[in-house]
Chain A
């Protein structure tokens, strides 16, 4: 599988990162098999979080067996020193390892959170301390909602080395600053910051729960995923063509094999096709009056 430099971290990540949340839905034996399958496809970058149920625990055994082959990203939703310091140790414990390669401030949503994180006694103090102690190698950030906030974070966190954010044709086709992840990509490219894409396989929101109860959804994802081999290949190729360093696999284990296959066989996507996907998505809920053309 193709590898790309993860910003200036020195890490060469496969263009597919394994979203280890998928392990949470499996028994240990199944989890072990899935990790073996992922490694068989050459994937060398895994991502996990303490909030993903038992994912850390289930990843542990195979991670320890293949520790040298895996670049591991983990995350924290804590915003203050105490909480973050505790979560780092807890994750190390649950994973059964000594060092997390990439530790990410998870799900940044509001400017005030950024204030807290960067202030004295904020989460960053704990993360930097852990870095000095050799518990962490690199510092990253994830945000699902606001490209401008990511740009602010890049301004305010000098030692930020990676960012993770949503990217798919639906997002790429939306106008307005709240969807301008292209600006984030350009900025990261200019500053040597690594980029990880999430929601590459999102088709749309689930129907409202009164139409489809949460318990009746066929996939574990937070969104309704694309779930055909062609659809998955197209979404992977699109995301990888946007200039992301790596694309995170979806959170449902049923989809992982298809995504591994797509990433292994990917041959890129030309611009005319990328535009076709964006145009298609854009017209799904276009604010522009009825039109005959593109």
Chain B
């Protein structure tokens, strides 16, 4: 492995890893530069080991800069920061004194066609973002997968070009989340690793692979172990770390339930060996969280991380990872896709067309839509139909999921946390 980077996003993660800490990060974005700055300052000063986030708004994401401009002009609230609409100098002064070596900042967006965003980052000097040809395409609209692959190839090349050995650009795969819920962990792990291999093919020097908390901690620990093992096997020469997302599906409606779910994710991060944790707030099911909500969430997560680290040091483990063959399933999918074409972009495209990769309940036309998943009786997320995936599993004839069943599965985690807290 090459010498670890000293500065930028990658460098900061290295330093905290060396110190045995888990970096905690919000999902934060505000339209107004003053609010965005206030949020970054508050996260930097929070009682936690943090990095900053600028989440972009949905107009910027889909490339509708006209609507972003109109919203800024008419002071209409946006769901994120319009990076490509505010003049670069406005963003530079928003960042001045905040964005420094000790406090790296990541741009999170969700764009299948990200060139305008990467160019703005290059002009402003921002070095870290999130994305992927699959994970920023299939859950995020109707851009054809083929275009997203081309666009993300160019984006990765640009990130590689922006990099210097001292300050490598960093790219995180969103592959461990997909539609936020109901995607069995083996497939999440496979997509994250395949996107990591895609980034490596394009010489992005520093990457992270994600995994989102699902329905059962034992299964999540098995998934994180599989992800780490696959990174060791398939990406041994690259600077890679693992980032855990607090639950990305329908969130509990009570404060207590939301907090308990956040706590559980912090424990999973520690016992699963993630270097970074991206949190959610108690306002998740209600509205865009404000600065105070975000600070409360990172501080709470930090406390739980420290508690869990003490538990671990004392040899106490809350859960035993399950042993369901998750690694083997992920590995089979990865190997099958890699065998399709030496160019991973082409291989991914073929794989989705043939259903060798297929996300349950995904509406995107470039997937076959034959797979189905369910929350099993023991709370594990499992396959209900494996479609044409190259793995063993159920292929029942003619079971359609109804509205009631769908809602109860989507609300499984929210209900579990809201109700356990209520009885307490």
Partners in one complex: no
